Structure 1
Amino acid sequence: MGDIEVCQYFICPISLQIMKDPVTTITGITYDRESIEQWLLTSKKTTCPVTKQPLQKDPDLTPNHTLHRLIQGWCTQNASHGIDIIPTPKRPLDKFQVLKLIKHLWQPELQLKTIKQLVSLAAENEKNRKYMIEAGLPKEMLVFIVTCFEQGQIDGLEEALGILNFIQIPSAETKPILLENHDLIIKSLTWVLGCEMKNQVTVKSHTMLVLKTIIEACTSSNVLELVTPEFFKRIVEVLRSGITQQGINAALDVLLEACAWSRNLIRMIEANTVFELIELELSFPEKKTTELILGILCNLCSCPDGRAQFLSHRGSIAVVSMKILGVSPKAGDRAVLILSMICNFFGTYMVLQEMLKVGAVEKLSSLTKIDCASFLKEEASEILRLHFPEWKDSPCIDRFQSIRVKPR
């Protein structure tokens, strides 16, 4: 703004910028709407920043129309100096407007326009999202997705899933819906995972995040107990085709949760989950992703078919061995448990030689010497003891260690 003098009353006390939408609190101080709303949303103590007097979390903010007109006039006068003209602010969203939009959502001629408007409003600010939750929009979006599934319609799905990710489905509202319709909702989201759409990565990532949220909200209702083989097939396809990092972790969280039921383990193995998880781990993902992958593999390797599928991948032993040290204690624990199950049930000459070749034996040997959890040290020692005859000549097993792991 150079040398242009700005009236101090035009400046927001919080942002120290010219106000675009001046509003006055009950303390008599005027702020820019966005600034004071953000202040009250994020501040631990809801007080007026200037007077320090208490304010409500959702206070009555009175638009200061006179000041806004003065600011607009000043901006117009100084437009030649590079000052942007401030538009008349939109009326802030309230619960009643959201309810009106929900009615429009179910009118076919207004449906697409309405859902796009809702996405835009959800993206604007936290207050809009709060009103959407109060008006019951999460439930309406789930019903909309189910309706799309029943009618085979994909228009509006991307927006509906985007809204659900913006406003975060509250568990108190989700539980009653799921208890009545959880089969249909899970089937609908499974169907979405198989749909061909323009923004594939975004849609499928959002779908996995919604699935995760729903399942976490209803852990006591066993929503994953009766899922179909198609459910796991679609999730594995999504992991194979590629989605966002958030989406990957959400998909893995869902698979790990599903491992609680033995029938799900069989279905996951049939969907080639073990092989795809090893492929994913070979891409060197972040720590949390590795921990989730190894957690799922631990469960799947408890089944004979899971162990067989594990060994059918040429890089399986190598990639798991790499995670014994250097990722996290949780990842190390799970990696050792996987190798323990492989050794106990598939300890063939070829498997044991592969473990030696890729450094698994060396990593297990290191675990017995370093400061780590006692049960992990014991598990590593037990693997070394059971297969000492095959590994005794390896340079990574020193003389002192061979005394400790030698078979009784």
Structure 2
Amino acid sequence: MERFADTNLRSSMDSDFPPLFRCPISMELMEDPVTISTGVTYERKSIEKWLFTYNKRTCPATMQTVAVGENDFVMTPNLTLKRVILAWKINESSSSPATAIDQVQSLLATVESSPFKVSSLRKLRSMIEMRDEVKSEFIRLNGIGIVVNVVVQILIDCSDFSTLEACEEALGVLSQFPISNEDELFDEMSKREELMKSVAIVLQRGSAEGRFYAVKILRNIAKNTNYNWGFVMEEQGIDLFKPLLELVSDEFPTKSSSCALDVMIEILASSKRSRVKAIEAGAVWILIELLPESSRSKCERMLQILQSLCECAEGRLALVEHGMGIAAVTKKILNVSNVATKIGVKILFWISSFHPKERVVEEMMACGAVKKLLMILHMACSGVGGGGRSSTKEKVIKILKMHGSSWRRSPCFPCELKNYLKLVNDD
């Protein structure tokens, strides 16, 4: 029913648009155009279905094989084309007698009174994205409250697909607004606990686009407000972290995975309880598996999350029990950035301080952690490199003081660096 209603609500411009705006697969007007490695642009939903649902390995338009390698199936958002399409939509709309302000009022009335809301919400999102005055009028007309009511409807009709689709589009509208402690949207989030429940449902069950809107809102809340995550941890806990970790684990680079990392960093900083829930959701093991192939930006954030988790005994235990835990962290020290090195040393400091078992100490020698610690000390003494930071140097010295005598007896100990271990002993 919703699909037919959407068709009836479309204006004539939706059926008469430039060929460049048409997705080669669906033949419909693109809303989220992405370009794949062959240079052809598609609607994101259509090409994702082609590649991942039907497991195709060719470009539908050119039939060229999509490159297989480190960056399989990278889809780059075609932001220029998206802006051109949106501008065209606005220009087509403005040619009608109704002004943009009148359209906002009409669309909100439809959202509030009609069971067929998707197309109206989609149109609102496009208009808000393009014009600041539309955003202001939307707020003045209580648009936030009206759209929030659509979002929470998912708690009543959670099994209905059209309700889920409308909820996703409503989150798409809300994601266009900045969130701070003074904003109306944050006020709604704080007063209506069911709103966060709805966001969590979309994060768990929604489409790729819907999940992006949900995690984008969560990131805006986490980074820009003093939101109390205690209720969310009580209600959702592990069920919130699992979909976040799924987004982080996405092998295809997406904005959603980046947002998910930011959300986790902020939530984990809020309480020990949140860190325990993340550990129970498998965060330590998942991040260790992802760490070796991560980009610099993601690597730093993953290490930051691991550092937070290792402040808990459960997190430290999970890391040492993973066969590659110490090795994965060690590999990033001195190989990524000063930030990664600093965080990596902190993690090793936690591990060597609270889990000084013989197996752990031997593993640090075998995977090269000891050699890297001595190299950091060498750079600090020489006054070069990122190892010169005093906080990092002090942690290195403490680690070497704790276990240096054991490592020095090992046949694997690097002889050329024994003088630096002697400096530690003389300190």
* TM-score normalised per structure 1: 0.70
Query: How many positions carry a matched residue from both structures?
Result: 317
Which stretch shows the higher mean deviation, 302-311 or 390-399?
390-399
Query: Partners of 1:93 and 1:354 in 2: how far apart?
Result: 69
Correspondence 1:276 to 2:300: no
C-alpha RMSD of the superposition: 2.7
Query: Partners of 2:253 and 2:214 in 1: how far apart?
Result: 11
Query: Partners of 1:331 and 1:144 in 2: how far apart?
Result: 42
Pairwise CA distance, 1:301: 0.9
Partner of 1:401: 420
Find 2:315's aligned residue among 306, 331, 345: 306
Pairwise CA distance, 1:96: 4.2
Partner of 1:245: 254
Find 1:208's aligned residue among 212, 215, 226: 215
1:165 to 1:93, Cα distance in 2 relative to 1, 3 A: farther
1:226 to 1:165, Cα distance in 2 relative to 1, 3 A: closer
Partner of 1:145: 151
Pairwise CA distance, 1:315: 2.0
Partner of 1:341: 350
**How far does the alpha carbon of each residue in 1:318-366 deviate from its partner, in whole angstroms, 9 at most, with x for none?**
2211222243332222111111111112222222222222221121111
Find 1:193's aligned residue among 184, 203, 226: 203
Report the AA paired with residue 348 of structure 1: K
Query: Partners of 2:200 and 2:148 in 1: how far apart?
Result: 13
Correspondence 1:105 to 2:116: no
Pairwise CA distance, 1:90: 4.4
Query: Partners of 1:378 and 1:116 in 2: how far apart?
Result: 55
Q: Does the Cα contact within 8 Å between 1:225 and 1:261 map onto a contact in 2? A: no
Percent of matched pairs sharing the same residue: 26
SS of 1:398's equivalent? helix
1:244 to 1:140, Cα distance in 2 relative to 1, 3 A: farther
Correspondence 1:375 to 2:375: no
For residues 287-326 of structure 1, the aligned pairs below 5 Å read 287=297, 289-326=298-335
Report the AA paired with residue 161 of structure 1: L
Pairwise CA distance, 1:256: 1.8
**Structure 1 segments unaligned to the other structure (5+ residues):** 1-85
**How far does the alpha carbon of each residue in 1:148-169 deviate from its partner, in whole angstroms, 9 at most, with x for none?**
2332131223322322333444
Pairwise CA distance, 1:121: 2.5
SS of 2:176's equivalent? helix
Partner of 2:85: none
Query: Partners of 2:331 and 2:266 in 1: how far apart?
Result: 25
**How far does the alpha carbon of each residue in 1:239-284 deviate from its partner, in whole angstroms, 9 at most, with x for none?**
3355753222221222222222111121111111111122222222
Partner of 2:184: 173
Report the AA paired with residue 265 of structure 1: R
**How far does the alpha carbon of each residue in 1:111-151 deviate from its partner, in whole angstroms, 9 at most, with x for none?**
22312322332354555445434544344333321112332
Partner of 2:31: none
* TM-score normalised per structure 2: 0.67
Find 2:264's aligned residue among 252, 255, 271: 255
Query: Partners of 1:295 and 1:277 in 2: how far apart?
Result: 11
1:187 to 1:158, Cα distance in 2 relative to 1, 3 A: closer
Larger Rg: 1
SS of 1:387's equivalent? helix
1:278 to 1:139, Cα distance in 2 relative to 1, 3 A: farther
Find 1:385's aligned residue among 401, 419, 427: 401
Partner of 1:161: 171
Give 1 or 2: higher helix fraction: 2
